[in-house]
Structure 1
Amino acid sequence: MGQGVGRARHSTAPKPNILYIMADQMAAPLLKMHDPNSPIRTPNIDSLAKTGVVFSNAYCNSPLCAPSRFSVCTGQLPSKIGGYDNASVLASDIPTYAHYLRQEGYETALAGKMHFIGPDQLHGFEHRLISDIYPGDLGWTVNWDKPDERQEWYHNMSSVMQAGPCVRSNQLDYDEDVMHKASQYLYDYVRQGPDTRPFCLTVSLTHPHDPYTMTQEYWDQYEDVEIPLPKVHIPQGEQDPHSTRLLKTIDLWDNPVPDEAAKRARRAYFGACTFVDDQVGKLLRILKNCRLDKNTIIIFSGDHGDMLGERDLWYKMSWFEMSSRVPLIINYPPLFAPKRVSESVSTMDLLSTFVDLAGGDAEAIIPVDGHSLYHYLISDRPGRDEVFGEYMGEGTISPVMMIRRGKWKYVTSLADPPQLFDLSSDPLEIVNLAASSKPEHVRVAAEFEKEANQKWDFKAIHLDVLASQRRRRLCWNALTKVGRFESWDFQPTDDHKTKYIRSQIPLDDLERRARFPVVDYLGREHTAAATHHGAAGAMGE
């Protein structure tokens, strides 16, 4: 839970705004802030890292979109909230960080993807500025009753084999909508004047998620760049059981990717990372132009990574570093000195962190699995250095659980042999020490297995997942087989009658209200609102 330190430190100062930027499927190990030799160009993210607190070992809690985002929003592990796969419903009575921040007086807004499933498409957000890009229904339910059956909606290799430049894509349409709505939100916010509530704006982009395609502008930025091929190749016959299932799930079994296709996909992915970086830069410029930059905490993270051909795997759905490790930066130079945190943390920790950043009462948080990162921001004392993860989505036949602590990563399942990696000496996770006969490795593996069995009732969780899948498949089949189908998709409204000159508001009043900063009839600028929102004294400085 949260550390309870926020309120005492800055209770009398204006509450800081919070801008939370989430990238989709951005693999942290490839980014320049973690690998100085990376060819990926991300100057804005690099600048945030240079002036912010970087969590070098941040992980998702489930390497799949919806379960990971559910954990981010609720601070709870997927099995606690029924977040098993990309068609799991998030119940409306589970508090999210949006609920907690609203209790602290925040205006909460979401622009972009959050992969909420079910009739509640808000989950505490006061404003949802755009619909989601993926279905909010039960159609993508995993089927453990037919583990060898490939579902129509599973990933396949078309994204890799068709990789390259494009003029337009669905992903580009979406992210440009996200950016327009997010930008307009910030402009509208600052024009309201000095008495507005602080905001928490979540901007969730769908890039660099596949398909691996990007406009010529970004493709050409990597024209003279040597695109590295994956470092680790694992022959089919030597793959672990979960990876074997993933190869079949994504239609990669007996269907190898040519090197040229892999390079094109990785080049497009690199371009998509640069595209995301440009959007970060646009948001930073808007904050500065609106004089919101001095009192806005910026958090940059992701929902999971992408294997990008490493170990001959693509996309996510595994606990290997490329799939599960995510970027995480908390940037607020007025209070938090730049540094790097080496302890392992997770995005599930963000809910409690948000409450502390808002100066809220962390003790009032209903018990969650995450732990606030606030103490990392204000002190150099060691932290927990611990992450728990759960994966029950496509490619599984039973829950696959992960424990990350110290130099170790341990992965275990009812169905598969365990895996133990020493990431300090084997960062590419090549040697599975769970099969080692060395006394230290035998002892460590046994301790992790004992801990895993104490933490998780594997058989009970397996049965819960199976029952949920069966219920959801029955409902989905009934809803789509006969009669009218009613979608749970969210449709935002945009009232142009009060936005533009449509005879609803006197012309001068509308023009004056829509201008920032406000000026008088002599052209003199009045910046009371900007001064308030950009208060240098935020958070007790």
Structure 2
Amino acid sequence: MTAKQPNILFLMADQMATSSLPFYGHPLVRTPHLSRLADEGVVFDSAYCNSPLCAPSRFTLMSGQLPSRIGGYDNAADFPADIPTFAHYLRDAGYFTALSGKMHFCGPDQLHGFEQRLTTDIYPADYGWFVNWEDFETRPSYYHNMSSVTQAGPCVRSNQLDFDDEVSFRARRFLYDYARNGEPRPFCLTVSLTHPHDPYTIPQQYWDRYDHDEIDMPKVPFSQALADPHSRRLRHVYQLDERTLTDAQIRNARHAYYGSISYVDDQIGSVLSVLKETGLDQDTIIVFSGDHGDMLGERGLWYKMSWFEGSARVPMIVHAPVRFAPKRVSESVSTMDLLPTFAELANNNVAPEYAAPLDGRSLLPHLNGTGGHDEVIGEYLGEGAIAPLLMIRRGRYKFVYSAPDPEQLFDLEADPLELNNLAQDSAYQDLCREFRTEIASRWDYDRLHGEVIASQRRRRLVSRALSTGKVTTWDHQPLFDASTQYMRNTIDLDDLERRARFPVASEQHS
């Protein structure tokens, strides 16, 4: 007899720094709902994104393939419609797939396997946020600047609050509708919030959850000695010099960021509450992760776009206490591993026949305690770079390679703050040589560099052309049939009330 397929609830937060979460050791931030999932679930202590930028990270997460394999280079890269995603695989396996919130799909396909998309996206779907490595000094106006930090503090309302309030509402409505409509298929619902992504502002009630004087400052302040060439380029991109920020502004930004994390936790808690009150929690695997981190002023860096731990690490929890005993996993894994994990969970723990080569590997051996890999491969090909930045994390070491820059090698067990670059240490030359050889075998570096630039040229032309004359938007337009909502004369009142009530009311007899 075939086992029942579990529902999958995939919860995402945008730009969530692992080090800012209490279940990864932060002493101040409070996340009761996520902390409960961590206490009852499998927590991955060394999880990474595969490209520390929103769109390429999400394309890689969705497809299980590295950005260079699918052309998902930056925040304006097209995500091809013929690339299979976890939504395609699960839908093919009989799942009802739905997305509420952000996924930053670029290009005309705004579904990528999701049967329903319950909201629009907060970010544009076109190529307007293009990158130009051939003209690095000309800074596009859409690039991050420091206004998110200099203007940090409480607010009454923001663009992101408007979006995330809708994301959580639509997710809750989906679960209610699923519970009362008799849908026979299991569901895979992705709920993707845009907080705690900058700008660093949050309503007063969340600001007030933290004592301002207790907000911790960066452990590693900016210093010229620590600034590698890529870090200096990033500071140029977001217009930051040594006189731009005050300590007060840095503390304000971190304070608002922590408040945003509590807001995310409350939104997730509201979705989990509906899951429980509808009884769907009994057969639902809950996964929580993110697309990348946030440097939050560490090393004088903000946002993401680098391979330092604050930018590249992500939280990851798999909560299914009946299936997987609660524990911590120390081996390094990545969000690219989620597709094969979801696909195997949907197919009775057996890998389906994949229609495209995967770079990710299933997390089931880790979840089941039967071994598992300890390796992350990453590519950064976006803004602030001038050539590919490639990363290998294996065991205790992280190696970062970019042809124009000095190599970086960090021993993360001995040096978790990445203060000591071992690449020039004579004792580590053999290890660097091994990593360098592996880089050369995994990537045709010059070819990849050329492909990125060719893609940038194409998209600049297409973006310019499509913004001339009548503009046809690619942004997702969620459709709702109001003629079948609430009370209408096309359906008997008693039938409507009976179908909409959950649980079904019992007949009362006098």
| TM-score range relative to shorter protein | over 0.9
Q: CA deviation at 1:485?
A: 1.1
1:467 to 454, 464, 478: 454
1:488 equivalent to 2:474? Answer yes
Give the conservation status (yes or no) of the 8 Å contact 1:219–1:271: yes
SS of 2:94's equivalent in the other structure is: coil
Q: CA deviation at 1:253?
A: 2.8
Give the conservation status (yes or no) of the 8 Å contact 1:22–1:302: yes
Q: CA deviation at 1:225?
A: 5.7
Alignment correspondent of 2:155: 166
Identity, in percent, stands at: 59
1:516 equivalent to 2:502? Answer yes
Alignment correspondent of 2:286: 298
Pairing of 1:495-506 with structure 2 (within 5 A): 495-506=481-492
Amino acid at match of 1:504: T
Deviation digits for residues 23-74 of structure 1, max 9, x if unmatched? 0000112211111x42111111111001000010000000000000000000
Amino acid at match of 1:377: L
Alignment correspondent of 1:27: 17
Alignment correspondent of 1:153: 142
Deviation digits for residues 153-175 of structure 1, max 9, x if unmatched? 00000000000000000000000
Cα distance between partner residues in 2 of 1:83 and 1:139: 15
Amino acid at match of 2:453: L
Cα distance between partner residues in 1 of 2:54 and 2:37: 24
Pairing of 1:368-447 with structure 2 (within 5 A): 368-379=358-369, 381-438=370-427, 441-447=428-434
Cα distance between partner residues in 1 of 2:93 and 2:338: 16
Amino acid at match of 1:282: S
1:56 to 29, 39, 45: 45
Alignment correspondent of 2:3: 13
Pairing of 1:99-138 with structure 2 (within 5 A): 99-138=88-127
Cα distance between partner residues in 2 of 1:75 and 1:504: 45
Amino acid at match of 1:163: A
SS of 2:470's equivalent in the other structure is: coil
SS of 2:23's equivalent in the other structure is: coil
Cα distance between partner residues in 1 of 2:376 and 2:27: 26
Amino acid at match of 1:355: A
Give the conservation status (yes or no) of the 8 Å contact 2:168–2:268: no
Deviates more, 1:165-174 or 1:254-263: 254-263
Cα distance between partner residues in 1 of 2:244 and 2:499: 59
How many positions carry a matched residue from both structures?
508
Alignment correspondent of 2:318: 330
Amino acid at match of 1:317: M
SS of 2:98's equivalent in the other structure is: strand
1:317 equivalent to 2:301? Answer no
Give the conservation status (yes or no) of the 8 Å contact 1:39–1:225: no
Unaligned runs of 5+ in 1: 1-10, 525-541
Deviation digits for residues 301-339 of structure 1, max 9, x if unmatched? 000000000000000000000000000000001111000
Cα distance between partner residues in 2 of 1:357 and 1:52: 16
Q: CA deviation at 1:506?
A: 1.1
Give the conservation status (yes or no) of the 8 Å contact 1:294–1:334: no
SS of 2:22's equivalent in the other structure is: coil
Q: CA deviation at 1:520?
A: 3.1
Give the conservation status (yes or no) of the 8 Å contact 2:55–2:105: yes
Amino acid at match of 1:73: M
* CA gap 1:283/1:307 in 2 versus in 1, 3 angstroms: same
Give the conservation status (yes or no) of the 8 Å contact 1:24–1:206: yes
Deviates more, 1:360-369 or 1:429-438: 360-369
Cα distance between partner residues in 1 of 2:458 and 2:3: 50
Cα distance between partner residues in 2 of 1:123 and 1:290: 28
Cα distance between partner residues in 2 of 1:203 and 1:31: 19
1:246 to 210, 219, 234: 234
Q: CA deviation at 1:214?
A: 0.2
Amino acid at match of 2:44: F
Cα distance between partner residues in 2 of 1:138 and 1:523: 64
Deviation digits for residues 490-534 of structure 1, max 9, x if unmatched? 10011122121122211111100001111232289xxxxxxxxxx
Unaligned runs of 5+ in 2: none
Cα RMSD, aligned residues only:
1.3
1:142 equivalent to 2:131? Answer yes
TM-score (norm 1): 0.92
Amino acid at match of 2:96: E
Deviation digits for residues 269-311 of structure 1, max 9, x if unmatched? 0000011111111111111100011100000000000000000
TM-score (norm 2): 0.98
Cα distance between partner residues in 2 of 1:50 and 1:246: 37
1:78 equivalent to 2:67? Answer yes
Cα distance between partner residues in 2 of 1:155 and 1:42: 28
Give the conservation status (yes or no) of the 8 Å contact 1:218–1:275: yes
1:448 equivalent to 2:435? Answer yes
2:277 to 285, 289, 295: 289
Give the conservation status (yes or no) of the 8 Å contact 2:344–2:352: no
* CA gap 1:343/1:509 in 2 versus in 1, 3 angstroms: same
Alignment correspondent of 1:223: 211
Alignment correspondent of 1:477: 464
SS of 1:63's equivalent in the other structure is: coil
